[in-house]
Amino acid sequence: MKKLRITSILMVIAALWFVTACGSKPAATETSGKPSEKPAATSAAAPAATASTAKSATVEDIKKKGKLIIATSGNFRPITFMNEQSQIAGLDIDIGNMIAEKLGVKAEFVPGNIAGLIPGLIAGKFDLVMSGLTATDERKKIIDFSVPYGKDGTIAATLQDNSKVEDATKLGGLVVGVIGGSGTHSVIKEIGGYKELKEYPGNAEAFTDLKAGRIDTYAVGNIAAKDYIKNDKSDKALKLVGAVTAIKPMGVGIRKGEDELKGIIDTLIEEKLKDGTIDKLATKWVGAPLPK
C-alpha cells in the first residue's frame, strides 16, 4: 500500500513537470527581446482597427435603428423650445430634421439640461448635440463641431430701470445669472469680477429670477435674449445693455472621431447655406439670417 502511494505521488510530480515545461516557451517569448516586439505591434494595431470600425459603424448603426438621437435643451427659444402644443420646435430642430432626412431616418430629440448634453454625447447616449451650441475652445477639446451655420455671442439682460448694469464685460459687484454648462457660462467665468454667479437650467428660470430681483443681470446668448424680450408680456420690462461679446460660430456637436457622420453633416450644411435654406429657416425663427 505504501509503495503504491509513493508511486502515485511520483506520477503527479511527473505530470506537473510536463505541464510546466510545455507552458514555459510562450512566457519566455513574451519577455525576450525581439519576439516580444511582435505581440506589442499586434496589440497596438488592434485598437486602431477597432476605432476605424467604430467610425464607419456609427452611420450604419443610425440607419439600422432608424433614428438619429439628438440631445437638446428644449429651453432656449427660438433655437430649441417646447411650443404651445408641447412639441419640440425651433431653428436647431428644423436643421436636425434635415440631417436625419439626409441619413434616411427620423430625428428623435432628447431634451435635458445643457450641462449634461455633451457628457451624454461623449458617453454614447446621443448621436449629436444641437442646442445653439457655440464652438468654445473648451468644448473643442472634447468634441468636434460641424461647419458653422451661424454665429452668436453673449449680451447682458437686465430690468428696464436698472442702471448698475452696463455691459456683459463689466460685472464688478454684480450677481450674475447664466445657463449652467452653456457657452456663455464659460465666457462669464473667464471675464470674472462678479459678486456671485448663479446657474440656471434654461432661459425661463433665469429670466424669472431676473424679474424677481434675485440676480442683477442675466448673461445670455444674443439670439435667445432678443427673442425673449420681444415676446415677453409681463409687467416687468427688460432691456439688453452693452455690446454683444465673445461672438463664436454655432454648429452641431459631434463625438470626436466620427469622421463619416461629420462629413455628411458638413456637406449638408454647406449645401443648405449655399441654396439659402438655412437663411430662410433663420428668418422664420429668429427674424433674420444669422451672422456668418
Quick: pLDDT tens for 197-218.
999 999 999 999 999 999 999 9
**Are 141 and 78 part of one and the same domain?**
yes
Query: What does the pLDDT read at residue 251?
Result: 98
Together in a domain, 123 and 161: no
The predicted model gives 171-195 an average pLDDT of: 96
pLDDT tens across 222-239, in order? 999 999 999 998 889 999
Return all residues near 287 (Cβ < 8 A) that are at least 6 apart: 227
Domain, as residue range, for 155: 151-249
The CATH number assigned to the domain holding 171 equals: 3.40.190.10
> Residue 125 domain-assigned?
yes
> Both 137 and 265 in a single domain?
yes
What's the mean pLDDT when you consider all of the chain? 85
Beta strands 196-200 and 175-179 are: parallel
Structural contact between residues 260 and 55, judged by C-beta atoms closer than 8 angstroms: yes
Rounded-to-integer distance, Cα 30 and Cα 27, Å: 5
Give how many domains the chain has, as a whole number.
Answer: 2
- Would you say the C-alpha torsion 198, 205, 126, 155 has a positive or negative sign? negative
Q: Does residue 63 sit in the same domain as residue 133? A: yes
Instruction: Indicate if 171 and 224 belong to the same structural domain.
Output: yes
Same domain, 69 and 196: no
116 CB neighbour count, 10 Å cutoff: 16
49 located within any domain: no
Do both 216 and 229 map to the same domain? Answer: yes
Same domain assignment for residues 256 and 119: yes
174 & 134 share domain: no
Q: 57 falls in which pLDDT band (50, 70, 90)?
A: confident
Are 136 and 281 members of one domain? Answer: yes
Cell of 102: 439626409
Predicted TM-score (pTM) of the model is 0.79
Report, in angstroms and rounded to the nearest whole number, the Rg of the chain calculated over CA atoms: 29
